[in-house]
A and B are shown apart, each in its own frame.
Chain A
Amino acid sequence: MASLNVRAALLSISFLILVLGLWEMSTQPPKAQENMTEYEMLMGGVEQESRVPPPSAVFKLAWEELSDPFYDAGPNDKGIGIQLAYSVSRVLAGFVAAMAIALPVGFLIGMSPLMYKALNPYIQLLRPISPLAWMPLALFIIQDSNASAIFVIFICSIWPMLLNTAFGVANVRQDWINVARTHELSNVRTALTVILPAAAPTILTGMRISIGIAWLVIVAAEMLVGGTGIGYYVWNEWNNLDLTAVIFSIVMIGIVGMILDLVLSKAQKLAEYTE
């Protein structure tokens, strides 16, 4: 008897095959008709309804795109690899900038109840704003679409990190801080050697939430500003009503998002400890 894991994997694959098979069967295009009249040719064929492309078409396109992911055929036509690289680099830039601010400020409000009370109303006010609502303002002030996209990532990924850092720092066991105090450690050393490791799992949870949101937002932001990135790719294919490419890019967005999340979850595992 195979182990549970193997059986689960087999079942999971057969579900996939079943679903894809049904999808494939239900979306077969009718046979190409010969002897179309001129009108039918101008209409792009006689088929009356447009349909979702079958998975085989998506696989075919995926094969083509992935076999040459880094081609560059001009400013508006680049390979999927280049587009994804643009998006990931924007996300990382915004994310790192958010980290640079969220972690210190999070420490500050986590360690000082006064700062927490003073800043909390602003955080609560700014936090629920959709990051894309910032876009017109960012475009106007920053005067650069690429930097605006990065700013949008920054503004959306800062809040979960900030709040989780503050929460993690505020909830470090008082005993540990007291021990540090009896050892006469300075505030900075206490923060770095006692509080940081203790709050790290919570902070990393915040970062994991942040990167997830950032990846969600970048697609929308790039659809707005255009130019490069996976969001632009989706928009460009939508422009052509090419659902095959849209489905393909949805899958790619999912895969990259999963990889980003995996990296942070590994980091989170490293930081975990048992009391």
Chain B
Amino acid sequence: MTIKSLGNPFDGDRALTHSKQCGCTECKSTGARADVDVRSPILTDRAQQDLVADGGDSEAMLDRAIESAVVRSVFGHNDHSRRSFMKMIGAGSAAALIASVFPMEKAKAAVKESMGKLEKSRLNVGFVPITCATPIIMASPLGFYEKYGLDVTITKTAGWAVARDKSLAGEYDASHMLTPMPLAISMGVGSTPEPYIMPAVENINGQAIVLHNDHKDKRDPKQWKGFKFGVPFEYSMHNFLLRYYLAENGIDPDKDVQIRVVPPPEMVANLRAGNLDGYLSPDPFNQRAVWEKVGFIHLLTKDIWEGHPCCAFACSQKFATQNPNTYGALLRSILDATQYSNNHDNRKEIAAAIAPKNYLNQPVQVIEQVLTGYYADGLGEIKNVPNRIDFDPFPWHSMGVWILTQMKRWGYVEGDLDYKGIAEQVYLAGETGKIMADMGISVPDKTYKNHVIMGKTFDPDKAEEYTRSFTIGRV
């Protein structure tokens, strides 16, 4: 997803009816940078600055949106007359002309003011030190929270159970969680029931199956009977994706292998000690296993499900209702940071910002390999997979439904499930979509879509049927 940062309304060559990175022929021919490969790792500094200046700053984006609204209304929303007028008199004089009759700066200030007074500006947000939390973490050193008037203390947390307990105890106002966790907490599965909401997904992709170096000759999952695998938490995409992958290969994850819950930081040590044969875990611990020469990357999870959600930004329903403006500002800063993280040109800067002791506490080179997707796989090859990890905040309802089908499939929940009802209550695709649109981020026009996982299509309208369609499962 790219930033649909608004076109400059004072630019006669720019159509305002098209988004900035619109790929239509008109935009291409007018020189809009529709198709610069933002994913290529080598971009000149100049191009990078351009991109940041154009799209990175939401303050500027908001200013631009207001300018655009004013200019458009001056020309009665007729883009042709606007463009010919701008070409005739030039952007600078047009801006001065409009400013002389319309208090542009005051309008901008008024709009920002109307976003409301913050009920609470000092917040505690928890995170588990993994690259999935990149937006939550980097928003602190790179000043995204400050920009929205928030003073956020981000606290490193030892594992998911503690993150859950500290959130439920109210020590954290909001927290980095795994996408299945707010669903599980809301249903009271594996915790006391408390209505939780998940307004944004943090990252998509970005996990991997790592095997111990002794298993270099066992690349076929059918040879994995008797293996001991680690996953970071029961209610995690890691657990569900590993189970899915094993089951598709004819291995029953409950009978043929052992799946243990191991906190991510302990994965590498356990792999080295031989307690685990492999794991499906968040980065940087996959790349770290390679760096430590203990294991190799067997498969990136993007090859199981391209674009699967992983971690989430979540808080209690109570926090959002009691502090609507604070919640809004926090969500905006997260969305803003997520957009920034998704830009591949910013990845090296982010890697350097989040590697120190205060945040991930990992070698920069490891984080960089994860975020840029240019990495050693531990088998002697260098891979270049730019979308190894991406950041896309939109919380698709269909993703929530898929997670619920897997929770039922493996017996974490029993009985009839209102798949869509629960997903819609917890995953706030509608609200987040509106805020994203406000911020000029392009938003999909629906909240359900079909997902393809290992070649099999999942249709969220046929959830129960899907749950029962697997030969290996507990239903």
Q: Chain A: residues with CB nearer than 8 A to chain B?
A: 38-39, 41-44, 47-50, 73-77, 136, 139-140, 143-145, 223-227, 235-241
Contact = CB atoms under 8 A, between A and B. Distances in A.
Contact of A239 (B129, B374, B381): B129
A73 B358 contact: yes
B380 A42 contact: no
Contacts of B165: 136, 139-140
Contact of B162 (A38, A77, A226): A226
28 contacts: A41-B365, A43-B293, A44-B291, A48-B293, A50-B272, A50-B293, A73-B357, A76-B154, A76-B357, A76-B358, A139-B162, A139-B169, A140-B165, A140-B192, A144-B171, A223-B158, A224-B162, A225-B158, A226-B155, A226-B157, A227-B156, A236-B357, A238-B265, A238-B269, A239-B129, A240-B361, A240-B363, A241-B269
Interface string B76-99: 000000000000000000000000
Contacts of B357: 73, 76-77, 236, 240
Interface residues of B, number: 43
Contacts of B266: 238
Contacts of B171: 143-145
B7 to A, nearest CB: 39
List the 7 closest A-B pairs by CB distance, nearest first.
A42-B376, A77-B358, A143-B169, A239-B265, A74-B358, A226-B158, A77-B357
A227 B369 contact: no
Interface string B261-299: 000011011001000000000000000101111100000
Nearest to A47: B293
B155 A43 contact: no
Nearest to A226: B158
A238 B290 CA distance: 17
Contacts of A44: 291-292, 363, 365-366
Nearest to A140: B165
A238 B381 CA distance: 28
Contact of B153 (A42, A75, A240): A75
Contacts of A49: 293
Interface of B: 129, 153-158, 161-162, 165-166, 169-171, 192, 265-266, 268-269, 272, 288, 290-294, 356-359, 361-363, 365-366, 369, 374-376, 378, 380-382
A224 B158 CA distance: 6
Contact of A75 (B154, B161, B288): B154
Given A236-B156, A241-B288, A75 B358 contact: yes
Nearest to A239: B265
Most chain B beta carbons < 10 A, residue from A41, A223, A227, A238? A227
A234 to B, nearest CB: 11
Contacts of A226: 155-158, 162
B30 to A, nearest CB: 40
Given A47-B293, A76-B156, 12 more contacts: A39-B381, A42-B375, A42-B376, A75-B156, A139-B162, A225-B158, A236-B357, A238-B266, A239-B129, A239-B265, A239-B362, A240-B363
A75 B155 contact: yes
Contact of A240 (B161, B362, B369, B380): B362
Contacts of A143: 169-171
Contact of B155 (A41, A136, A227): A227
Given A49-B293, A76-B156, A224-B158, A42 B169 contact: no
A42 B290 CA distance: 9
B292 A235 contact: no
Contacts of A74: 358
B292 A50 contact: yes
Contact of A42 (B166, B170, B192, B365): B365
Most chain A beta carbons < 10 A, residue from B129, B162, B356? B162
Nearest to A49: B293
A238 B268 CA distance: 10
Nearest to A139: B165
A39 B269 contact: no
Contacts of A236: 156, 357, 361
A157 B379 CA distance: 51
Given A42-B382, A77-B358, A236-B361, A145 B166 contact: yes
A173 to B, nearest CB: 51
A143 B376 CA distance: 44
Contacts of B369: 42
A109 B291 CA distance: 59
B388 to A, nearest CB: 13
A47 B293 CA distance: 9
